Structure 1
Amino acid sequence: MAQLFSVHPDNPQPRLIRQAADILRSGGLAAIPTDCAWSLVGHMGDAKVLDRIRRIRDVDVHHHFTLMCRDLSEIANFARVDNAQFRLLKSVTPGPYTFILEATRELPRRILHPKRKTLGLRVPDHPVVSALIEALGEPLLGSTLLLPGEELPLTDPEDIRERLQHDLDLVIDGGHCGTQPTTVIDLSSGSPELVRAGAGDLARFGLE
């Protein structure tokens, strides 16, 4: 059965966060709360983690995975961002937005969209996620915890642990987490294009 760590939502215990980072670093898959919905997260270079997330979500190789970054300086390491795009990202991060961007060559090809060579990137506004990224020393590879055939992501850590006990290595209970996923904005072709309306203000992108 997956382990369950209960952490303080604003000041997560460093010992538990370090243990969680070790689990991910060794190939583990975790369910964690974010500033939007729960997400499945793992080490970005691990092919088995990708396969496990695809199996849980029942998605194919064209599914856009997301890198959860600590700040904008990390995004610049993994995506091609021009000055206008950087100003836009700076104005809305951290926050409930995922941006589809052209990936740099530093990223493993297996985590990119196979045809477009793009990836979702975001900077979450959540202490638990930030602490975990800090402890891991690199971005988290993630995907919304939305199970096949369900309209909303799971929200209760005990329910997540029970339903996915054989699919996960860890569930982090970090307090309340909503059910609305991020707003997804495609910036890979230049001007913002709405992919998914979720949490966040579309007016900030002129997409009302």
Structure 2
Amino acid sequence: MIEYIVPTNIDDRILNRAAAALKNGGLIAHPTDTSWHISCASTSSLGLAKLKVLKGGAKGYLFTLMASEISQISHIAEISTPQYKLMHRLTPGPYVFVLGSRRTLEKIMGMKRKE
């Protein structure tokens, strides 16, 4: 099913269907500033499995995690005080931050911890 969200006239029913799809292991496509992304809920093992299939199932896959607030990142990534201050100063903005993962994220994504 294809649904469109018009920024000038947001339909809550469509947002609720997208949220339900994510919660139930579905995928959604959405635009970013430069391209389109396919996303799933980071807590959904079914959604992550679907993304891995789309990426070809290769080992060492990389995922981009998005958050609406910096505070959401702290439970999945290790953020030092200087990193937090830098992120706080630069966001919102067109930046990608590469951070070390916490065990919580590794468990969710089925990753093995590197020694």
TM superposition score normalised by structure 2: 0.82
Structure 1 segments of 4+ aligned residues over 4 angstroms from their partners: none
Are residues 1:33 and 2:25 paired? no
Instruction: Work out the percentage of aligned pairs sharing the same amino acid.
Output: 29
SS at match of 1:39: strand
1:89 match:
87
Alignment of 1:103-182 (within 5 A): 103-111=101-109, 114-116=112-114
Confirm or deny: 8 A CA contact 2:106 2:112 kept in the other structure.
Answer: no
Give the total of aligned pairs: 115
SS at match of 2:65: strand
Give, in angstroms, the shift of residue 70 of structure 1. 1.0
Larger proportion of helix: 2
Give, in angstroms, the shift of residue 46 of structure 1. 2.3
- In 1, the alpha carbon distance for the partners of 2:98 and 2:90 equals 15
SS at match of 2:40: strand
RMSD: 2.3
Are residues 1:49 and 2:59 paired? no
TM superposition score normalised by structure 1: 0.49
Higher RCO structure (Cα 8 Å, ≥6 apart): 1
1:76 match:
74
Larger proportion of strand: 1
SS at match of 1:87: helix
Are residues 1:21 and 2:19 paired? yes
- 1:140-169 deviations in Å (ceiling 9; x for gaps): xxxxxxxxxxxxxxxxxxxxxxxxxxxxxx
1:12 match:
10
Give, in angstroms, the shift of residue 112 of structure 1. 6.7
> Structure 1 residues 114 and 99, CA, compared in 2 at 3 Å: closer, same or farther?
farther
Confirm or deny: 8 A CA contact 1:35 1:95 kept in the other structure.
Answer: no
- In 1, the alpha carbon distance for the partners of 2:4 and 2:111 equals 34
Structure 2, unaligned runs of 5 or more = none
